[in-house]
Amino acid sequence: MADYDEDVTGKEGYGSVYDYIEAKYRNEWSELDVKSGILVDWGLVAANRWEQFESTYRSNYADYSADYTSDAEFQSRMARKYQEMQEYYQIYEIPAEEQVDVFSDMDIQNAVREEMERDAMEKASDSAALAAFETIGENVIQMDYEARRTESEKALETSIESKNSRTNRELVDALKEKAEGNPEYLVRGAPLRCRYGSHMRYLDMLEAHGVYLNDDPVMHRKDCKVGENILPFGICTSPVHNLKKRDSFFAGAETDQEGNYLHAPDDRVITGFVCEPEIADDGWKNCKKETKIAQDATPVAKGKDACICYEAITTASYLVCKHGGIIVPLGSGQLKFSTYTAPFLNYPFVDLNGKKKELDEKDQKAFENWCDLHNIPPDYPGTEKYMEWYQNRIRKLEEEGASAKKLRAAYEECLDNAYWHGLDHMGPEERRSVRNMVSQYARSGLLEDEELGEMRKRYSGLRLDCGYNSQKNLAGATPEEDEFYQYYTGKAETFEQEQKELEAQMRQASHMEDSDAVIAVANKIRELKNEKEQTYGYFSREVERYSDCLDAERKGQVQEIENLFKEQGVSQ
């Protein structure tokens, strides 16, 4: 009998359709003689029914393999390899005499054939086994149609499940390796992806545990409740789910941490089974065992045994969904996630994730050549190389006498990328360079007056005024708007009034010598202090992002609010 594969969801499965049929029927069919039947009439010589199945399987496999490894498929793969190699020679400026002809190089051809055969092997095996089972079941042992269909579906399901578990294990192994480094702690707002989900979602929580990083609450192993911490990931494409509800969504449409609609790159709609996460086992896996966070701590709790503690989760942690998916963090949440993906990261010859600055001179030159070849900016929005690339592009279009439509497209592509990348992903110089491009576009004469106002408004906050980050949900405005200062002035005045009321309650409790009341009021004063500091922190960070574009009047308003908080003993 074939060995079982134990996958990460805890289910048992077989490695292939053949394995399932062998485990289920080999012993039984080996006992059945082959003195008569249609296969004997066809001249198939075998000692028993199982040998008949294997002979039929091998014959089918040869036929299916020929289809999956056809000459047309080989030529198609060789053409893609040729294009890839030609691009490599071009960007690395390889002389013609040193270039290899892929169509005559046997090593390249053999490598392509091996890759093609690996891809085809599992497909051909499963198809051949299902066809052989149908032949034996129908023509030899007269198994009824419903029984054959049920067994075929079960064999295919368990095979898919096993293959899915292997892929999941590869992902889990990579995360375990990542955990050996120094992964960041996950906080509320960390972006998440399910391997089979169509949409990104954010890790959420209703109540913090009292542990924070940069004002964001840190989360632990048990923070995995569906609907509270984990939200549906759009359309589920898992091959092993048992979901029933179907619906349609915009492809690529994302939301912020609070569920506000952000962006759909096109109007394409995807339809399928709606994700309903069902978290397996005991919560997050691959946690930070050395760091524990209390679930039910109180100000009067003393010692580690006074409350329940769970391990902190990191960017190397993951969740297992019972519908076959693995849910992983795309970032820690400590820096607000950007839906912008830089095109240069698709560079096929070097893994540029985190390594772009380390390219040697030869590889750097090749990379820049590739960007020019594909008309791709070579860095992130706002950086010196990015802005220089777009300035050169606009200048060239002007010199060529390009139409206003083409010039506008170049400006808007440059600024749209910066918009989706986000202001909070840029340093002061990068933010200033993007705003300079906004001013340049405004002076270009390419826009009507009404369009000019809309353009300035859109790019003034570079996403921060569009419901993307938690700041928007505090003030509802950016430091370039009066509502921003009205909000924080109101918060400071409210804090001052609450402080006076609590101090009066404390005096009364002390006078009455009511120790329980004193402790309760002291806890409220501590909570109010934390809320003040958190609110002032939001204010300070947002002002810092806009410090290079605030006029004297706005700077005066900033100073007034800073004074209000400092008078209450709050400063950073």
CB-facing half-sphere around the CA of 455: CA atoms within 13 A: 24
Q: Which residues contact 491 (CB under 8 A, 6 or more apart)?
A: 535
Taking the domains of the chain in order of start, what are their residue ranges? 5-177, 184-337, 351-460, 475-566
The partner residues of 247 in beta bridges, in order of sequence, read 272
In this prediction, residue 551 carries a pLDDT of 86
Angstrom distances, CA of residue 6 to CA of 13, 165, 195, 320, 328 = 7, 8, 19, 14, 21
In whole angstroms, what is the distance from residue 554 CA to residue 520 CA? 40
Model-level pTM? 0.58
Residues, the chain: 572
pLDDT, averaged in runs of 10, over the chain (572 residues) = 34 66 87 60 65 85 76 86 91 91 90 82 81 79 82 79 75 81 87 87 87 87 93 86 83 54 57 90 88 74 72 91 87 72 85 63 91 91 95 95 94 90 80 91 92 81 52 69 92 94 92 89 91 88 78 93 91 67
Do 349 and 258 touch, CB atoms closer than 8 A?
Answer: no
In whole angstroms, what is the distance from residue 504 CA to residue 59 CA? 91
Pairing of strands 12-13, 191-194: unpaired
- Ramachandran angles phi, psi of 64, nearest 5°: -65, -40
Helix 106-139 and helix 145-179: axis angle, to 10°? 140
The partner residues of 202 in beta bridges, in order of sequence, read 191
In this prediction, residue 46 carries a pLDDT of 67
Q: Buried b vs exposed e over 123-132: b needs ≥16 C-beta within 10 Å?
A: ebbbbbbbbb
In this prediction, residue 437 carries a pLDDT of 94
What are the structure tokens assigned to 418, written together?
């910066």
Our measurement of the distance from residue 11's CA atom to the centroid of its chain's CA atoms, rounded to an integer in Å, reads: 26
Q: Which residues contact 148 (CB under 8 A, 6 or more apart)?
A: 133, 134, 137, 138
In whole angstroms, what is the distance from residue 554 CA to residue 572 CA? 20
What are the structure tokens assigned to 64, written together?
């299916």
- Ramachandran angles phi, psi of 218, nearest 5°: -80, 150
In this prediction, residue 254 carries a pLDDT of 57
What are the structure tokens assigned to 313, written together?
């989760």
In this prediction, residue 339 carries a pLDDT of 64
For residue 12, give the H/E element and its range.
strand 12-13
Do 217 and 333 touch, CB atoms closer than 8 A?
Answer: no
- Ramachandran angles phi, psi of 140, nearest 5°: -110, -55
Q: What is the gyration radius of the CA atoms in the chain, in angstroms?
A: 32
